[in-house]
Amino acid sequence: MIANKTILMLPGDGIGPEVMAQAKRVLGWLQDTKRASFTITEDLVGGAAVDVHGVPITEATMEKALSVDAVLFGAVGGPQYDKLSFDIRPEAALLRLRKDLGVFANLRPAKVFDALVDSSSLKPELVRGLDIMIVRECIGGVYFGEPRGIETLPDGTKRGVNTEVYTTMEIERVGRVAFELARKRNNIVCSVEKANVMESGLLWRQTMQALRDAEYPDVTLSHMYADNCAMQLAKNPKQFDVIVTGNLFGDILSDLAAMLTGSLGMLPSATLGAVDASGRRHAFYEPIHGSAPDIAGKGLANPLAQILSLALLLRYSFDMEEDAAAIEAAVERVLATGGRTADIPAEGRERLSTAQMGDALLAELAKSA
Q: Which residues bind ligand NAD (CB under 6 A)?
A: 15, 19, 75-78, 91, 94, 264-265, 286, 289-295, 301-302, 305, 343
Q: Which among 24, 194, 316, 323 is annotated as catalytic?
A: 194
Nearer to ligand NAD, 135 or 266 (CB): 266
Q: Contacts by 363-368 with C-beta closer than 8 Å and gap 24+?
A: 364/330, 364/333, 364/334, 365/26, 365/29, 365/326, 365/327, 365/330, 366/29, 368/326, 368/329, 368/330
Nearer to ligand NAD, 42 or 91 (CB): 91
Nearest one of 227, 229, 238 to 123, comparing CA atoms: 238
Q: Which among 64, 143, 238, 359 is annotated as catalytic?
A: 143
Phi, psi of 13 (to 5 degrees): -120, 170
Nearer to ligand NAD, 221 or 312 (CB): 312
Nearer to ligand NAD, 174 or 296 (CB): 296
Q: Which among 114, 227, 294, 319 is annotated as catalytic?
A: 227
Give the three-state DSSP class for 172. helix
We find the least distance from the C-beta atom of residue 293 to ligand NAD, in angstroms, to be 6
Residue type, 323: D
Phi, psi of 188 (to 5 degrees): -125, 130
Classify residue 54 as left (phi > 0), alpha (psi -120 to 50) or beta.
left
We find the least distance from the C-beta atom of residue 29 to ligand NAD, in angstroms, to be 20
We find the least distance from the C-beta atom of residue 291 to ligand NAD, in angstroms, to be 4
Alpha helices in 103-183 (DSSP H): 124-127, 168-183
We find the least distance from the C-beta atom of residue 58 to ligand NAD, in angstroms, to be 18
We find the least distance from the C-beta atom of residue 82 to ligand NAD, in angstroms, to be 7
Burial group, residue 342, by CB count within 10 angstroms (0-12, 13-18, 19+): middle
Nearer to ligand NAD, 291 or 317 (CB): 291
294 in catalytic set:
no
213 in catalytic set:
no
194 in catalytic set:
yes
Residue numbers annotated as active site:
143, 194, 227, 251, 255
